[in-house]
Structures are given as C-alpha cells and as structure tokens.
Amino acid sequence: MLEISEKKDAVKVVIVEDYKLTRVGLKSTLNEYEHINVIGEAEDATEGIKIINTLKPDVVLMDLGLPGMNGLEATMKVKEQNKDVKIIILTSHERSDEVIAALGAGANAYCLKDIAPQTLSEVIRNVADGTCWVDAGVSKAALNFFPKPENVTLMQTTEVQDARAQLTERELEVLKHLVQGKSNTEIAKELIVSVHTAKAHVCSILQKLCVDDRVQAAVKAIKENII
C-alpha cells in the first residue's frame, strides 16, 4: 500500500510485516511522532521490495518471519537494489545466529517487538542518520553464538590478540558500546566525553578493524571475540 508523505523533513518509513494488526498498530503509533512518516506498508517481501523501489524510503522496518521470501532474503535484495536505504529488523526472533545473519545481510539495526514505542522512534531517527543499533538482549545472546577463546585454534587466538592489541583501552570500551548498538551521543554520555571525541574513537576503531561501518565493527567484535 502506497501513501503520500505530508510531513516535511520527516524520516520516511516503509513497514514490511505480514500481521495486519501489528502493521496497523506500528503505522498508527509511529505516525504520532513528528520526525517519522510511514509512507508505505506491505504484507510480504515481494510487495515490500516493489514499494521500496518505488518510494525510496529512508528506513524500512522488516520482519524476519515473512511468508514466501523471508526477511533475511528480502534485506539482501533491498540492499542490492537500494544501498542507501536503512533496514531495521523488527522481530520476535531472539536466536543469536539470526541476529548475526541479519547484520551480515546488511541490516542496520535489530530490534525485538517488545521494544518501547519511544525507543523505536529514536532508533529510527538514529538509524536514518547512520547509526547502527542492536537490542541489548540479543547482542548478549549473540556473544554466546561464537566459540570462546579457549575453544579456538592457536592461529585464531593470535589473530584475536592482534586485533585487540591494535585498540586502546578506551577504544575497546567504545567498541563494547557499539556492540550494544549505542549512538555516538549515548557513548559520549556513558564515557563522559564530547560527541566529537566519541565519534573520533569510532572512526579510529573502524580504521583499525578494517571495516566500513559500525555494524561491521560490531559483528567482527562479536565473531572474533575481540571484546
């Protein structure tokens, strides 16, 4: 379903969710925020991709358990066709392998459906601005998906040590916050530093880990047991 945007400078959002009640509820709730405008919705991935290609939204709320093509496949297709569109996985799935798969497919955020509306509205705003976000509950679960240091080979352990050695103690602290999906502003508040300083630490981390963005940094940190 296509809709015309009337809010100026609002984040344009498309919802891809197969349950109508959930879809309608999300649309109604999110449209109460001045910085969000839900401009389209779809009940399956195929329809969603068509709408996304037509409307070019800023952010897509994508369910994982869609009929036919699942949300993971849809995320990869959307990213292939619209690399600038940000995707927020909004699901009840808490399995750590699904979290990592979604981030690896290009998702910019991973939220559980019990998220508070206000928090979701802020996640949408932040993701539109280029921040990644991972629900604290699933980020902790994801840590358990990967082998602990004592279970990896000597070569893997050495690689992890090398990666960790490149980062300062403060950068390792910042990296932990990145894994939790916190924005530069939130990191600055936690560490009692300026946003500019927090951003500088993030840029340094991306360079040292040889990754392109915050999501890749978070995935690498978890996958390689850097933190």
Q: Where are the domains of the chain?
A: 11-135, 149-223
The arithmetic mean of pLDDT across residues 188-201, rounded, is 90
Q: What is the pLDDT of residue 6?
A: 62
CA separation for the pair 97, 138 (Å, rounded): 10
Quick one: 38 exposed, middle or buried, by C-beta within 10 A (0-12, 13-18, 19+)?
Answer: buried
Q: Are 41 and 27 contacting, i.e. CB atoms less than 8 angstroms apart?
A: yes
Which residues, listed in sequence order, are joined to residue 14 by a DSSP beta bridge?
Answer: 40, 60
CA separation for the pair 74, 53 (Å, rounded): 12
CATH topology classification for 11-135: Rossmann fold (3.40.50)
CATH topology classification for 149-223: Arc Repressor Mutant, subunit A (1.10.10)
Q: What is the pLDDT of residue 147?
A: 44
Q: Greater confidence, 80 or 140?
A: 80
The answer to whether residue 189 scores a pLDDT higher than 50 is yes
Percent of the chain with pLDDT over 90: 43
Tens of pLDDT along 80-127?
999 899 999 999 887 777 787 888 788 888 999 999 999 999 999 989
